[in-house]
Structure 1
Amino acid sequence: MARDDPQTDHIDVLIVGAGMSGIDAAYRIQTLCKDKTYVILEARDRIGGTWDLFRYPGVRSDSDMYTLGFPFRPWASEVSIARGEAIRDYVEDTAREFGIDRRIRFGHRVIGANWSSKDGHWTVEVEHDGATRRITCLFLFACSGYYDYSEGYRPVWEGEAEFKGQIVHPQFWPEDLDVSRKTVAVIGSGATAVTLVPSLADQAAHVTMVQRSPTYIVARPARDRIAGTLQRILPRGAAGSAIRWKNVLLTIFMYNRTRRKPEKAAEWIRGMIQRQLPADYPIEQHFSPPYKVWDQRLCLVPDGDLFTSIRSGKTSVATGAIERFTPTGLRLVTGEEVRADIVVTATGLILKLFGGVQLSIDGKPVDPSERVIWKGMMLSGVPNYFLSFGYTNASWTLRSDVTAKAVCRLLNRMDDGGFTVCTPQVPDGGMERLPVISFSSGYVQRALPFLPKQGSRQPWIVPQNYVKDRFAMRFGPIDEDLEMTRNATAVRT
Structure 2
Amino acid sequence: MIKMTQSPLYFDVLIVGAGISGIGAACHLRRRCPSLSFAILEMRSDLGGTWDLFRYPGIRSDSDMYTLGYSFRPWPEPKAIAEGKDIKRYIRDTAREVGVEQHIRYRHKVLAANWHSEKCLWQVNVDTGENMSTIYEARFLFSCSGYYDYESGYKPDFTNEAKFSGPVVHTQDWDPALDWRDKRIVVIGSGATAITLVPALAKEAKEVVMLQRSPGYVASTTSKDPWVDPLSKFLPESLVYRILRWKHISLSIVLYQLAKAFPEQSATILINGVREALAGHCDVDQHFRPHYNPWDQRVCVVPESDFFLAIKEKKASVVTGHIERFTPDGILLTSGENLEADIIVVATGLKLKALGGVTLQVDSRDIPASDCTSYKGMMLSGIPNFFLFMGYSNASWTLKTDLTARYACRLIKHLDKKGYHYAKPNQPDSTVAEQDIMPLSAGYILRGKHLLPRQGNKHPWKIYQNYFLDWLSLELSPVIGNELSVGQRPSNSDWKNLE
| TM bucket, shorter chain | over 0.9
Aligned to 1:14: 14
Provide the rounded CA distance (Å) in 2 between the counterparts of 1:463 and 1:76.
30
The 5-angstrom pairing of residues 446-461 of structure 1 reads 446-461=447-462
Q: Summarize deviations over 1:422-447 as a string: whole Å, max 9, x none.
A: 11002444421111111111100011
Match of 1:487 among 489, 492, 497: 489
Aligned to 1:166: 167
Residues 231 and 240 of structure 1 are in contact (CA less than 8 Å); yes or no, is this contact kept in structure 2?
no
The 5-angstrom pairing of residues 247-326 of structure 1 reads 247-279=248-280, 281-326=282-327
Specify the code of the residue in structure 2 equivalent to 1:31: R
Aligned to 2:127: 127
Aligned to 1:230: 231
Most deviating of 24-33 and 166-175: 24-33
Aligned to 1:393: 394
Q: Summarize deviations over 1:95-119 as a string: whole Å, max 9, x none.
A: 0011110111111111111111122
Match of 1:177, SS state, is coil
- The alignment's TM-score, normalised by the length of structure 1, stands at 0.96
Q: Does 1:208 align with 2:209?
A: yes
Aligned to 1:185: 186
Match of 1:88, SS state, is helix
Match of 1:152, SS state, is coil
Provide the rounded CA distance (Å) in 2 between the counterparts of 1:252 and 1:198.
29
Deviation at 1:280, TM superposition (A): 6.0
Deviation at 1:326, TM superposition (A): 1.1
Deviation at 1:478, TM superposition (A): 2.4
Aligned to 2:243: 242
Deviation at 1:482, TM superposition (A): 0.6
Aligned to 1:54: 54
Aligned to 1:402: 403
Provide the rounded CA distance (Å) in 1 between the counterparts of 2:15 and 2:332.
47
Specify the code of the residue in structure 2 equivalent to 1:71: S
Provide the rounded CA distance (Å) in 2 between the counterparts of 1:109 and 1:409.
28
Aligned to 1:85: 85
Residues 147 and 353 of structure 1 are in contact (CA less than 8 Å); yes or no, is this contact kept in structure 2?
yes
The 5-angstrom pairing of residues 367-446 of structure 1 reads 367-446=368-447
Deviation at 1:472, TM superposition (A): 1.4
Provide the rounded CA distance (Å) in 2 between the counterparts of 1:239 and 1:352.
38
Match of 1:155, SS state, is coil
Specify the code of the residue in structure 1 equivalent to 2:54: F
Provide the rounded CA distance (Å) in 1 between the counterparts of 2:118 and 2:19.
33
Segments of structure 2 that go 5 or more residues without pairing to the other structure are 494-499
Give the length in aligned residue pairs. Answer: 486
Aligned to 1:35: 35
Specify the code of the residue in structure 2 equivalent to 1:286: H
Residues 153 and 351 of structure 2 are in contact (CA less than 8 Å); yes or no, is this contact kept in structure 1?
yes
Deviation at 1:29, TM superposition (A): 1.1
Provide the rounded CA distance (Å) in 2 between the counterparts of 1:280 and 1:486.
67
Aligned to 1:66: 66
Deviation at 1:456, TM superposition (A): 1.2
Most deviating of 146-155 and 34-43: 34-43
Most deviating of 89-98 and 265-274: 265-274
Provide the rounded CA distance (Å) in 2 between the counterparts of 1:102 and 1:463.
36
Change beyond 3 A, Cα 1:225–1:428: closer
Match of 1:459, SS state, is coil
Provide the rounded CA distance (Å) in 1 between the counterparts of 2:344 and 2:281.
28
Most deviating of 330-339 and 198-207: 330-339
Most deviating of 425-434 and 38-47: 425-434
Aligned to 2:497: none
Aligned to 2:107: 107
Deviation at 1:488, TM superposition (A): 4.9
Residues 184 and 343 of structure 2 are in contact (CA less than 8 Å); yes or no, is this contact kept in structure 1?
yes
Residues 370 and 451 of structure 2 are in contact (CA less than 8 Å); yes or no, is this contact kept in structure 1?
yes
Residues 352 and 451 of structure 2 are in contact (CA less than 8 Å); yes or no, is this contact kept in structure 1?
no
Residues 78 and 228 of structure 1 are in contact (CA less than 8 Å); yes or no, is this contact kept in structure 2?
no
Aligned to 1:358: 359
Q: Summarize deviations over 1:165-218 as a string: whole Å, max 9, x none.
A: 110001111111011111000000000000000100111100000000000000
Provide the rounded CA distance (Å) in 2 between the counterparts of 1:408 and 1:244.
22
Provide the rounded CA distance (Å) in 2 between the counterparts of 1:242 and 1:6.
52
Residues 197 and 315 of structure 1 are in contact (CA less than 8 Å); yes or no, is this contact kept in structure 2?
yes
Specify the code of the residue in structure 1 equivalent to 2:147: Y
CA RMSD of aligned residues (A): 1.4
Most deviating of 266-275 and 391-400: 266-275
Specify the code of the residue in structure 2 equivalent to 1:190: G
Most deviating of 289-298 and 112-121: 112-121
Most deviating of 460-469 and 83-92: 460-469
Residues 393 and 439 of structure 2 are in contact (CA less than 8 Å); yes or no, is this contact kept in structure 1?
no
Match of 1:289, SS state, is coil
Deviation at 1:336, TM superposition (A): 1.8
Match of 2:393, SS state, is coil
Specify the code of the residue in structure 1 equivalent to 2:21: S
Deviation at 1:6, TM superposition (A): 5.9
Provide the rounded CA distance (Å) in 2 between the counterparts of 1:330 and 1:280.
24
**Structure 1 runs, 4 residues or longer, greater than 6 Å off:** none
The 5-angstrom pairing of residues 129-168 of structure 1 reads 129-130=129-130, 131-168=132-169
Q: Summarize deviations over 1:201-247 as a string: whole Å, max 9, x none.
A: 11110000000000000010111121233234322221111110011
Provide the rounded CA distance (Å) in 1 between the counterparts of 2:460 and 2:305.
40
Deviation at 1:76, TM superposition (A): 2.0
Provide the rounded CA distance (Å) in 2 between the counterparts of 1:48 and 1:231.
29
Specify the code of the residue in structure 2 equivalent to 1:261: F
Provide the rounded CA distance (Å) in 2 between the counterparts of 1:315 and 1:53.
26
Residues 354 and 369 of structure 2 are in contact (CA less than 8 Å); yes or no, is this contact kept in structure 1?
no
Most deviating of 195-204 and 329-338: 329-338
